[in-house]
Amino acid sequence: MKFMRQGDNPAKLQTLPEQKYTHRVIIPIYIPNDSGYFQHSFETVQLCIQSLLQTTHKQTALTIIANGCSKEVLNYLIDLTDQKIIDTLIINAENKGKVDPIVGAMKSCFEPLITITDCDVLFKVGWQREVENLYTVFPNLGMVSPIPFPAAYNTFTTWSWYLGFTKGNLTRESNKDEESLRLFKQSIGTGNQLTDIEKHPIYLTYKNKKACLGAGHFCATYNRNIIPYIPLTSSGLNINNAEKDYLDKPVEQGGFLRLSTVTGYVYHMGNVPEAWMNGVIAQNNGYTEQPLKLVIDKGIKLPLKSNKWIAKIISSPRFKKFKLLFVKHTRQ
């Protein structure tokens, strides 16, 4: 019996289209059923995706990771893929955790910007433009959250401080958007009272553009150049440590800045939809975002020994206690 190929595979003759996306959004989803905690999660996911589609430009691609999801959720995601609304759908038969699937998807991306977001985030008009604006202004930017995280001013922010001390301007001012922060804290069950640093965040200004020091990873946009600094081994299922080692440390180790927008452009919905969320969807209607021309930097490379010493001092535990003394206070 002879086995031989008949004819040529037509795929060999096809010319692949040019890369048309500049920004990829990755959303991991874990909804195994529709009872208990997950009773309304499917509705939340639908709101998340709808708001994302309303507020992103045409050069944005969507990757969904279905992590052991129910048949109802899978059918919905497959339908969106058939409509070419979802660019890439990754289906895991079992829950693989959050970080490993995300890292795997990140490493297959060619887009310069990669946003990783939880599936219970509600997007407002302007989030993408403001995030991309920060990337066009701030050098060596590696991570941006579309909502301020002032309490994270000391968390893997060595290079943000470094830019502030050497080329930028660090100020401590009254919070430009207390309401967004109160709503976020309330949504995660920590009350709505703000600490002093949350009432008076540290802002970094560079070339007349202002950003808040620190970022969080429930929704964040990463510079693709951080990928080589992500560990090669599996993270396991310990989410807290894994997010720190695989999504936080690479930004610091690569010499990248970690910032957030001055005002909030996203909401954290939790697992129960509320009426006001449909109001945000209505406000998003009719909006058309335009892509920006992006030039994404690699991390800071310090050629001088003196600069290396400065970086070591900034990141030292002892110096952390005195950083605020070097920040100009302009409280109102």
Neighbours of 293 (CB within 10 A): 7
pLDDT the model gives residue 290: 84
Cα 248 off chain centre by: 11
Average pLDDT of the chain is 90
Q: How far apart are CA 90 and CA 284, in angstroms?
A: 28
Q: Which of 23-32, 100-109, 168-177, 234-243 has the lowest mean pLDDT?
A: 234-243
Read off the pLDDT of each residue in 197-208 and give the average, rounded to a whole number.
Answer: 95
pLDDT the model gives residue 92: 96
Q: pLDDT digit string (tens) for 270-296? A: 999 999 999 999 999 988 888 888 777
pLDDT the model gives residue 26: 99
Signed CA dihedral, 69, 75, 78, 83: sign only? negative
Tokens for 225, please give them. Answer: 């150049």
Beta-strand relationship, 121-123 and 266-268: antiparallel
Spatial CA neighbour of 221 closest among 133, 132, 298, 158: 132
Spatial CA neighbour of 251 closest among 239, 259, 262: 259
Spatial CA neighbour of 80 closest among 59, 50, 106, 56: 50
Q: Is the pLDDT of residue 239 over 60?
A: yes
Report which residue type is found at 153.
Y
DSSP single-letter state for residue 325: G
pLDDT the model gives residue 247: 94
Read off the pLDDT of each residue in 152-162 and give the average, rounded to a whole number.
Answer: 93
Read off the pLDDT of each residue in 296-301 and give the average, rounded to a whole number.
Answer: 74
Residue 89 DSSP SS3 = strand
Q: Is the pLDDT of residue 205 over 90?
A: yes
Spatial CA neighbour of 285 closest among 44, 51, 25, 43: 51
Domains of the chain, with CATH numbers?
20-329 (3.90.550.10)
pLDDT the model gives residue 4: 64
Q: pLDDT digit string (tens) for 207-219? A: 999 999 999 989 9
Q: Is the pLDDT of residue 196 over 60?
A: yes
B/e letters for 218-239, b = 16+ CB within 10 Å, e = fewer, are bbbbbbbbbbebbeeeebeeee
Tokens for 321, please give them. Answer: 């206690």
Read off the pLDDT of each residue in 100-126 and give the average, rounded to a whole number.
Answer: 96
How many residues are listed for the chain in this entry? 332
Q: Which of 207-216, 255-264, 303-312 has the lowest mean pLDDT?
A: 303-312
Spatial CA neighbour of 219 closest among 161, 151, 148, 284: 148
Q: pLDDT digit string (tens) for 46-84? A: 999 999 999 999 999 999 999 999 999 999 999 999 999
As a whole-number percent, the residues of the chain with pLDDT over 90 amount to 70
Q: Is the pLDDT of residue 237 over 80?
A: no
Q: Is the pLDDT of residue 129 over 90?
A: yes
pLDDT the model gives residue 93: 94
The residue ranking higher by pLDDT, 210 or 193, is 210
Owner of token pair 């409509």? 83
Tokens for 63, please give them. Answer: 């990757």
Whether the model clears a pTM of 0.85, i.e. scores above it, the answer is yes
